[in-house]
Structures are given as structure tokens and as C-alpha cells.
């Protein structure tokens, strides 16, 4: 029987290494060394690095679903976007990490096809959620109606991914929060 505690530790360490060094910047040996395990024992839990990458995306997708359920009920559009950029900020503050999607995106062309498929699926889920929030914000007269919800969802998503990388380059996590605030200046209706 597999130790689920070990599996979770491998997942957590794999995610931390991914967020710090990218998919191509770590190996199973790095995880084994960090957790004081023998490398072959990792294969008891994950068939290969691609399987671990898919598990990281699925875990991140589950966390996203829980966050959406929590934030979507009574929050305004403004609160949702600020909260989203606050998440990016926490990644940036944590040893200059980036969200898993940003980390995977850097290495995307060299990733296994199965992992690429999972990343695209999650990426689409995120974009759909953002677009729904923009449409809702427009209906509630919070968001400028002349803007295309689809284009604005992509704009917000791209800003979120890019500002994390820029925060890492500039050693300035606070710039992530500023990016979120600047997006709102563009999207929110003025009173």
C-alpha cells in the first residue's frame, strides 16, 4: 500500500520546485534529495515526471475551484480581481515563486503532450471564469460595457502571468498588486 503522506509531500515539493525553477529546472532526483528519499521510491507514487506535472495541474485546478466557490458568491468584480492578484502576490513574496501556470508556460513547447493538454484545459477553465466575471460585472454596471469580455479575460490573465515574471525579475512583489489595481482602473466604470 502506498503512503499517501509521501505522495502529498512529493506533490508539494514538485510544485515548489516547479514554481521556483520551471518544469525543466528540476528532476525526480532533486525531489528525492529534498525529501530524503531514494529516487526509485518516487515512482511508487508517480509513474514519471509528466504524471507528477499532471497531478500538480489537477491539484492547482482543485484549489482554483475551491477559491472560486469561496470568492464568487458575494464579492464584487473589483474584489475578485484584487483577490486574484493577491494570490499572485503571495507567490511572488514566497522566494520569488510564480503560479504553476506561469511556471509551466515558460517551458510549454518542451512539455510532454499529455501535460500540455492538461495545462490548456486548466487555462481555458480560468479564462472562462474570468469572462463570466466580466459579463456579470457589466450586467451589474461595474465594468465598462464597451469592452469585449473575451478579450478582457485574456488581457487580465496575461497581465497576471506576466506581472509575476516581472516581479521576479525586478525583485518587486508589490508590483503584482499594482498591476491588479491598474487593470481595475481600465475596466471599472467611473462614478
Secondary structure letter of residue 111 according to DSSP: S
What span, in angstroms and rounded, lies between the C-alpha atoms of 180 and 177? 5
- The phi and psi torsions of 143 (rounded to 5 degrees) equal -110, 140
In this prediction, residue 27 carries a pLDDT of: 97
In this prediction, residue 147 carries a pLDDT of: 87
Question: Residue 102: in which H helix or E strand, if any?
Answer: helix 100-106
Which superfamily, per CATH, for 56-187? Tetracycline Repressor, domain 2 (1.10.357.10)
Please answer whether residues 6 and 81 qualify as being in contact, where contact means their C-beta atoms are separated by less than 8 angstroms.
Answer: no
pLDDT (tens digit, 0 to 9) for every residue of the chain, 191 residues total? 456 799 999 999 999 999 999 999 999 999 999 999 999 999 999 999 999 999 999 999 999 999 999 997 788 999 999 999 999 999 999 888 999 999 999 999 999 999 999 999 999 999 999 999 999 999 999 999 998 999 999 999 999 999 999 999 999 999 999 999 999 999 997 75
Name 169's Cβ contacts closer than 8 Å, sequence gap at least 6. none
Positive or negative torsion for Cα 30, 33, 35, 40: positive
In the chain, count H helices and then E strands.
Answer: 9, 0
With a threshold of 0.85, does the pTM exceed it? yes
- Could you count the other beta carbons within 10 Å of the beta carbon of residue 141? 9
Please answer whether residues 163 and 88 qualify as being in contact, where contact means their C-beta atoms are separated by less than 8 angstroms.
Answer: yes
Amino acid at each position: 500500500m502506498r503512503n499517501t503522506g509521501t505522495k502529498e509531500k512529493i506533490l508539494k515539493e514538485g510544485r515548489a520546485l516547479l514554481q521556483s525553477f520551471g518544469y525543466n529546472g528540476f528532476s525526480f532526483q532533486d525531489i528525492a534529495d529534498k525529501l530524503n528519499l531514494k529516487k526509485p521510491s518516487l515512482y511508487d507514487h508517480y509513474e514519471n515526471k509528466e504524471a507528477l506535472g499532471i497531478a500538480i495541474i489537477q491539484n492547482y485546478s482543485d484549489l482554483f475551484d475551491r477559491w472560486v466557490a469561496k470568492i464568487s458568491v458575494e464579492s464584487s468584480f473589483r474584489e475578485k480581481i484584487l483577490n486574484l492578484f493577491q494570490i499572485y502576490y503571495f507567490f511572488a513574496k514566497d522566494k520569488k515563486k510564480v503560479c504553476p501556470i506561469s511556471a509551466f508556460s515558460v517551458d510549454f513547447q518542451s512539455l510532454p503532450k499529455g501535460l500540455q493538454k492538461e495545462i490548456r484545459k486548466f487555462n481555458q477553465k480560468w479564462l472562462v471564469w474570468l469572462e463570466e466575471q466580466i459579463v456579470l460585472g457589466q450586467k451589474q454596471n461595474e465594468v465598462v460595457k464597451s469592452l469585449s469580455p473575451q478579450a478582457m479575460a485574456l488581457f487580465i490573465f496575461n497581465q497576471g502571468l506576466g506581472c509575476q515574471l516581472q516581479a521576479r525579475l525586478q525583485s518587486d512583489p508589490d508590483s503584482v498588486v499594482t498591476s491588479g489595481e491598474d487593470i481595475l482602473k481600465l475596466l471599472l466604470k467611473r462614478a
